């Protein structure tokens, strides 16, 4: 894996001057992914959403690589077309370089509206890495719940109200759905652990074939915390076992980090405005439910990793 000095020597391919919020985690994902991919040429696409909107306001683009955006639900399909063109033109000898293909989508564009296109592209076996920057809601349109939004979270379409205290349902486990595709590489990473993420991007691109990485991406606006905590809240999600770092390589599960002592989920949740209403004593049962769910999922994951 490239160390920070080596990454720095590669130079940024995702530039400053984009319009993301101060402290935006999605920008960190894009920047670190391109640094990690940077030893080979890449073509990038991005689903409509925060990352795309802030990075390509005409005539300014933060992408210093060939970049295409077409719509919201189809970044996997779009990049699969680019990759098909590459296969064809490379075979015909008109394109000579060894090129990698990278797609970004938020959780809305990946867990929800783009799931079909993603599943299709993965099944077809395109040589592509799909990175989901998962900030657990539709942030670009103003913080609406998605199927990645965790239980209890107050969003603008699952608001904390007099009768209903935020989102009722648990989040969907997309990483497991992707693992079920039997593709060569699936992983979870997080904003706040650059070396884990860099390693995974490098590995995914080196393996060839379809690969998927879900990156938990704290969003200061949608989660409600001071901007300097973006990386720290990512790490805390790992330390509470809410977001385990693991990978599934050719079907084999591997945990990449085990907290010395699992922190209670409240330590992570109550630093965020979206969960603050659950501090009331009458909602303790919800916190207990969430903690139970996290512990059960952790146990299941550990079983898979010990196989």
Partner 1 sequence: MQKIILAKTGNEAMALAMKQVNPDVVAAYPITPATEIVQIFSQYVADGEVKTEFVAVESEHSAMSACIGSCAAGARTMTGTSSQGLALMYEMIYIAAGLRLPIVMADVNRALSAPINIHCDHSDSMGCRDAGWVHIFSENAQEAYDSMIQAVRIAEHKDVRLPVMVTTDGFIISHGMERIDTLPDAEVQNFIGKYDPLMHLLDVKKPFTIGAINLTDYYFEHRRAMVDAQNNSLKVIKEVGAEFGKKFDTGYGLIEKYQLDDAEVAIVALGSTCGTAKVVIDQLRAKGVKAGLLKIRVFRPFPTEEIAKALENIKTVAVLDRSDSVGGFGGPVFTEIRSALYGSAKRPQIAGFVYGLGGREIDMEQIEGLFMDLKAGKVKADSVSYLGVRE
Partner 2 sequence: MSELKKYKELALGGNIEKGGTAVDFKTGDWRSSRPVYNPENCIQCLFCWVYCPDSAVILKDGKVAGFNLEHCKGCGICAHECPGKKKVKAIVMEEEVK
Closer residue to partner 2 in complex, CB, 14/243: 14
Q: Give alpha helix (H) positions in 69-155.
A: 75-91, 107, 115-124
If one asks whether residue 59 binds partner 2 (CB under 8 A), the answer comes out as yes
Q: How far apart are CA 76 and CA 176, in angstroms?
A: 18
Closer residue to partner 1 in complex, CB, 7/117: 117
The CB-of-17 to partner 1 minimum distance in angstroms stands at 13
The CB-of-18 to partner 2 minimum distance in angstroms stands at 5
Tell which one of 43, 63, 73, 78 touches partner 2 (CB under 8 A): 63
Q: Which does 78 bind (CB under 5 to 8 A by kind): partner 2, partner 1, none?
A: partner 1
Q: How far apart are CA 77 and CA 265, in angstroms?
A: 37
> What are the tokens at 177?
């759905």
Q: How many residues form the binding site for partner 1 (CB under 8 A)? A: 47
CB 198 within 8 Å of CB 1: yes
The CB-of-271 to partner 1 minimum distance in angstroms stands at 32
Q: Which does 24 bind (CB under 5 to 8 A by kind): partner 2, partner 1, none?
A: partner 2
Tell which one of 20, 115, 214, 238 touches partner 2 (CB under 8 A): 20
Closer residue to partner 1 in complex, CB, 69/200: 69
If one asks whether residue 127 binds partner 2 (CB under 8 A), the answer comes out as no
Tell which one of 4, 8, 9, 85 touches partner 1 (CB under 8 A): 85
**In this structure, how many other beta carbons lie within 10 angstroms of the beta carbon of residue 284?**
12
If one asks whether residue 58 binds partner 1 (CB under 8 A), the answer comes out as yes
Peptide bond into 59 cis (omega under 30): yes
If one asks whether residue 164 binds partner 2 (CB under 8 A), the answer comes out as no
From 21-29, 114-122, 223-231, 248-256, span contacting partner 1 (CB under 8 A)? 114-122
Q: Which does 216 bind (CB under 5 to 8 A by kind): partner 1, partner 2, none?
A: none
If one asks whether residue 52 binds partner 1 (CB under 8 A), the answer comes out as yes
Closer residue to partner 2 in complex, CB, 232/249: 232
State how far the alpha carbon of 27 is from the alpha carbons of 19, 22, 106, 128, 259, in Å: 10, 10, 12, 20, 27
Q: How many residues form the binding site for partner 2 (CB under 8 A)? A: 47
Tell which one of 32, 74, 140, 271 touches partner 2 (CB under 8 A): 32
Q: Which does 52 bind (CB under 5 to 8 A by kind): partner 2, partner 1, none?
A: partner 1
Give residues 243-302 in contact with partner 1 (rule: CB under 8 A).
none
Q: How far apart are CA 103 and CA 133, in angstroms?
A: 10
Which residue is associated with the tokens 């439910």? 289
Closest Cα partner for 224 from 21, 19, 20, 18? 21
> What are the tokens at 249?
């390589």
Q: Is the CA virtual torsion 223, 295, 191, 212 positive or negative?
A: negative
Closer residue to partner 1 in complex, CB, 12/239: 12
CB 72 within 8 Å of CB 49: yes
CA–CA–CA angle 246, 140, 71 (5° rounding): 85
Spatial CB neighbours of 47, under 8 Å, sequence gap ≥ 6: 69, 71, 72, 73, 74, 75, 103, 104, 105, 106, 109, 110, 114
Could you list the residues that contact partner 1 (CB under 8 A)?
Answer: 41-43, 45, 52-53, 56-59, 61, 63-71, 73-74, 77-89, 91-92, 95, 97, 99, 116-117, 119-121, 123-124
């Amino acid at each position: 894996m490239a160390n920070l000095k080596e990454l720095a020597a590669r130079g940024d391919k995702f530039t400053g001057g984009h319009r993301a919020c101060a402290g935006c985690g999605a920008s960190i994902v894009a920047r670190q992914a391109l640094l990690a991919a940077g030893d080979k040429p890449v073509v990038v696409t991005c689903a409509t959403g925060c990352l795309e909107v802030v990075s390509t306001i005409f005539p300014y683009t933060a992408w210093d690589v060939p970049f295409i955006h077409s719509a919201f639900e189809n970044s996997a399909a779009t990049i699969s077309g680019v990759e098909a063109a590459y296969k064809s033109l490379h075979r015909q000898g008109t394109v000579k370089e060894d090129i990698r293909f990278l797609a970004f989508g938020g959780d809305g564009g990946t867990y929800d509206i783009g799931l079909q296109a993603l599943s299709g592209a993965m099944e077809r076996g395109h040589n592509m890495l799909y990175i989901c920057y998962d900030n657990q809601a539709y942030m670009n349109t103003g913080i609406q719940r998605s199927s990645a939004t965790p239980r209890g979270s107050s969003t603008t379409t699952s608001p904390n109200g007099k009768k209903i205290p935020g989102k009722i349902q648990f989040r969907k486990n997309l990483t497991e759905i992707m693992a079920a595709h039997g593709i060569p590489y699936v992983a979870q990473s997080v904003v706040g652990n650059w070396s884990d993420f860099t390693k995974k991007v490098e590995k995914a691109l080196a393996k060839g074939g379809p690969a998927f990485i879900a990156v938990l991406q704290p969003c200061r606006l949608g989660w409600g915390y001071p901007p300097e905590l973006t990386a720290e809240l990512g790490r805390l999600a790992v330390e509470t076992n809410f977001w385990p770092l693991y990978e599934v390589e050719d079907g084999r599960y591997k945990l990449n980090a085990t907290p010395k002592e699992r922190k209670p989920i409240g330590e992570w949740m109550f630093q965020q405005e979206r969960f603050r209403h659950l501090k009331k004593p009458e909602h303790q049962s919800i916190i207990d439910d969430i903690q139970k769910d996290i512990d059960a999922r952790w146990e299941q994951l550990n079983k898979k990793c010990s196989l």
